[in-house]
Amino acid sequence: MTKTLKKLTPISIVVLALLTAVAPLSIDTYLAALPEISQDLGTTASRGQLTLTAFMVGLGLGQIIIGPLSDKIGRLRPLYVGVVICFLATLACVFVPSVELFIAARFIMGLFGSFGLVLARAIISDSTKGLQTARLMGIMMMINGFAPILAPLIGGVVLSVATWRAIFGLLAIFMALSAIAVFLVIKESLPVEKRRTGSVFSAYRGLFEVIKIRRYRGFMFTMVLTFGAFFGYISGSTYVLQNVLGLSQQQFTLVYGINSLGIVATSSLVTYLVGKIAQRLMLTVGIIALVLVSGTLTVLFALGIVSLWPTLILLFLTTCSVGLVMGNAPTLALVQARHLAGSASATMGAIQFVVGGLASPLVALGGDQAVMPMALTMLGFALLAALAFFTTPVEYGDWTKEGAEYHSHGGPKTGEMPVVEQ
């Protein structure tokens, strides 16, 4: 007899959202301290930057490792391992005597920190169905949206009263509390009868199986290419707004925080509108808006109109558009592969960071005084996201408020998790 999963509680949703916030918190809190870190550890700025690269590589690699494996062994045990080792690696960052050990600790921190990122999405996919999945993904996105706002502020406050090591001390406390919360609150979401059979290595076939699912592939690439446009903004805005338009570091931090609120606002809107209008409609509006906004920015820059307020408004509208896409596309992708939720979440996350890694050097091509590379990178990825979305096959129910999953065959698709108890 199939075991019916218990529904996620509000506190468990918050804990899962905090696990996905590990990445922005672990990056944005310490970026301002990189010069101090390089000086304190007696190394160069380029080697100091490797601490960020190592974390990002670990973050991408870890998702590929644990996502498919969790489809075979369950979500909870690897999540326990991830949060504990991530805490220990973060604590090690407080005491490292050399940049080499710091780079190693950051890699381990990213590798095991990624477990929470990929498994949080998989747990939601396991434990919910249809519109409930969309609502919870929106709530997670909304909570997670505050991390880029708070992280630089927290890092700045800590640096004003202590050294860079205190930042990682604070992060270690956060990781410890997150680990305790996971042990107390999160339950296994993947019943034994729903797990993949065969050898451990056979579980990794799931990475290739999900890519073969046409609608998963379409919505997944819509999401990751939109992230590419967003990362183009993140990578280029510091140069455009400070070096070209003359904002101070404090003013830039304020603008960055306000723009991040655009994602929070539209994620909240998505959560409210789920069940009232079709997710595919919201996603269509988000994609079209992203293309129009990035296109307008590109045209203005090409005409030599590089003014503060038009640029600020367009960048804010960019983040609002991204929120509409990121609040819907991951859900629409994951529901296509519920029976391989770990692999589906891992593939999405890993490709997302690869695309983000491609966007950053593209923005840097023109030097720190050029404005066109940022605009062209944003527009290029926006157009590719639009291509991925508008070539994704439409199923019956896509344009209804209930969604295609509700209408398909009068019930759940083969391999889906049972309906959550209400």
Distance CA(398)–CA(303), nearest Å, equals: 40
- List, for the chain, all residue ranges whose pLDDT scores fall below the cut of 70: 1-6, 366-369, 404-422
Confidence at residue 354, expressed as pLDDT on a 0 to 100 scale:
83
Confidence at residue 102, expressed as pLDDT on a 0 to 100 scale:
96
Q: Residue 402 in 3-state DSSP?
A: coil
Sketch out the chain's domains with CATH numbers.
7-189 (1.20.1250.20), 204-401 (1.20.1250.20)
Confidence at residue 408, expressed as pLDDT on a 0 to 100 scale:
56
Amino acid at 186: I
Confidence at residue 420, expressed as pLDDT on a 0 to 100 scale:
35
The count of other CB atoms within 10 Å of the CB of residue 188 is: 14
Confidence at residue 369, expressed as pLDDT on a 0 to 100 scale:
66
Please, are residues 322 and 144 in contact by the beta-carbon 8 Å criterion?
Answer: no
Confidence at residue 363, expressed as pLDDT on a 0 to 100 scale:
82
Amino acid at 97: P
Confidence at residue 178, expressed as pLDDT on a 0 to 100 scale:
96
Instruction: Give the residue carrying structure tokens 């909870």.
Output: 76
Q: Any bridge partners for residue 277, and if so which?
A: 274
Distance CA(78)–CA(334), nearest Å, equals: 20
Please, are residues 260 and 319 in contact by the beta-carbon 8 Å criterion?
Answer: yes
Distance CA(206)–CA(200), nearest Å, equals: 11
Q: What is the reported pTM?
A: 0.83
Please, are residues 200 and 78 in contact by the beta-carbon 8 Å criterion?
Answer: no
